[in-house]
A = this chain, B = another copy of it.
Amino acid sequence: MLSERRLQVLRAIVQDYVGTEEPVGSKALTERHSLGVSPATVRNDMAALEDEGFIAQPHTSAGRIPTDKGYRLFVDKLAGVKPMSAPERRAIQNFLDGAVDLDDVVARTVRLLAQLTRQVAVVQYPSLTRSTVRHVELLSLAPARVMLVLITDTGRVEQRMVDCPAPFGEASLADLRARLNSRVAGRRFADVPRLVEDLPEAFDVDDRGTVSTVLSTLLETLVEENEERLMIGGTANLTRFGHDFPLTIRPVLEALEEQVVLLKLLGEAGDSGMTVRIGHENAYEGLNSTSVVSVGYGSGGEAVAKLGVVGPTRMDYPGTMGAVRAVARYVGQILAES
* Residues in A lying within 8 Å of B, measured CB to CB: 100-101, 103, 134-135, 137, 139, 141, 147, 149, 151, 155, 157-161, 229, 233-236, 238-239, 243, 245-246, 249-250, 253-254, 256-257, 338
Contact = CB atoms under 8 A, between A and B. Distances in A.
A139 B137 contact: yes
Nearest to A246: B239
A307 to B, nearest CB: 17
**Copies per assembly:** 2
A109 to B, nearest CB: 14
Contacts of A100: 160-161
A241 B338 CA distance: 44
A161 B101 contact: yes
B253 A239 contact: yes
B157 A157 contact: yes
Contacts of A338: 161
Nearest to A243: B246
Contact of A246 (B139, B157, B245, B254): B245
A267 B157 CA distance: 28
A148 to B, nearest CB: 10
Contact of A149 (B157, B238, B249): B157
A155 B159 contact: yes
Contact of A151 (B103, B159, B250): B159
Given A149-B151, A155-B161, A235-B235, 18 more contacts: A101-B159, A101-B160, A134-B139, A134-B141, A134-B147, A135-B139, A137-B139, A149-B149, A149-B157, A157-B159, A234-B257, A236-B250, A236-B257, A239-B246, A239-B253, A243-B246, A245-B246, A249-B249
Contact of A254 (B139, B236, B243): B236
Nearest to A181: B139
Contacts of A137: 137, 139, 149
A149 B151 CA distance: 10
Contact of A253 (B134, B147, B238): B238
A257 B245 contact: no
Nearest to A248: B239
Given A139-B135, A157-B149, A159-B157, A257 B233 contact: yes
A139 B160 contact: no
A253 B135 CA distance: 39
B235 A257 contact: yes
Contacts of A236: 250, 253-254, 257
A237 B100 CA distance: 33
A337 B327 CA distance: 41
A249 B236 CA distance: 8
A147 B137 CA distance: 12
A103 B259 CA distance: 14
B151 A147 contact: yes
A257 B121 CA distance: 12
A288 B241 CA distance: 24
A139 to B, nearest CB: 5
Contacts of A135: 139, 141, 147
A160 B338 CA distance: 11
A134 B137 CA distance: 14
A306 to B, nearest CB: 20
Nearest to A238: B253
